[in-house]
Chain A
Amino acid sequence: SSELTQDPAVSVALGQTVRITCQGDSLRSYYASWYQQKPGQAPILVIYGKNKRPSGIPDRFSGSSSGNTASLTITGAQAEDEADYYCNSRDSSDNHLGVFGGGTKLTVL
């Protein structure tokens, strides 16, 4: 199965831009999707496919990819963006299945 690697923690000053990265071989073949999870809540999808945002997700969230690395960028981080962020991609061994990264805790200072 595939593995996706994320930095455990990242911080950003209020209103600044932050990039959260995700590395893995499967990202050379498949797009990443990104999920935001706040304490005590279910995850919500914030980015999928080639930089697509579900309805209701602010346009300060964007996604990109290069080689084996996918990135989630928050431009002008807000206090409410403080959360855990998980990347996800298809599993190279069975592309019906998915694999998550370990998650990145984002702190907005």
Chain B
Amino acid sequence: EVQLVQSGAEVKKPGESLKISCKGFGYSFTSYWIGWVRQMPGKGLEWMGIIYPGDSDTRYSPSFQGQVTMSADKSISTAYLQWSSLTAADTAMYYCARISAAAGDFWGQGTLVTVSS
């Protein structure tokens, strides 16, 4: 069974760094792109970018270029999304999704990130 399991909720202060994870189970992790999606409170879905764990090829959506860093460790089937300095505007739910045929066919359960002083 294909599953993406994300790390737990985080509460951080402005200026702190953070790395959240997305671990894949039940499929060849290196053969599919992984996408990251932001959903701010009460708002819609936004693609942040995608990474191919096979060779770590990474593409960022223009709005997120330079704001976050995506990475992957194929040895443990895990993708990461990280921030070097959080702001309140980063408060959101973050989802990872496996990309197949240009669609997110399996999604993680989401990681809620709250940034507050």
Q: Which of A37, A94, A96 has the most B CB atoms < 10 Å from its CB?
A: A96
List the B side residues contacting A1 at CB < 8 Å: 61-62
Nearest to A98 among chain B residues (CB) is B47
Partner of B35, one of A31, A42, A44, A98: A98
Q: Which residues of A contact B105 (CB under 8 A)?
A: 45, 48, 54
> Does B90 sit within 8 A of A, measured CB to CB?
no
Segment among B8-16, B66-74, B107-115 that sits at the interface with chain A: B107-115
| Pair B108/A103 contact, Cβ less than 8 Å | no
**A86, B104: Cβ atoms under 8 Å?**
no
- Say whether B45 contacts A48, CB under 8 Å: no
B44: which A residues are within 8 A, CB to CB?
A: 84, 86, 100-103
Is A88 among interface residues, defined by CB-CB distance under 8 A?
A: yes
Determine how close the nearest CB of chain A comes to the CB of B51; give it in whole angstroms: 10
- Select which of A91, A96, A103 is within 8 A of B45 by beta carbon: A103
Task: Name the A residues within 8 Å of B19 (CB-CB).
Answer: none
A18 to B95, CA, bound (A): 28
A-B contact pairs, 20 of them (CB 8 A): A1-B61, A33-B103, A42-B95, A42-B109, A42-B110, A43-B37, A45-B104, A45-B105, A49-B101, A84-B44, A86-B45, A88-B47, A90-B102, A96-B33, A96-B50, A98-B47, A100-B46, A100-B47, A102-B44, A103-B45
Residues of A within 8 A of B (CB): 1, 30-31, 33, 35, 37, 42-45, 48-49, 52, 54, 84, 86, 88-91, 94, 96-103
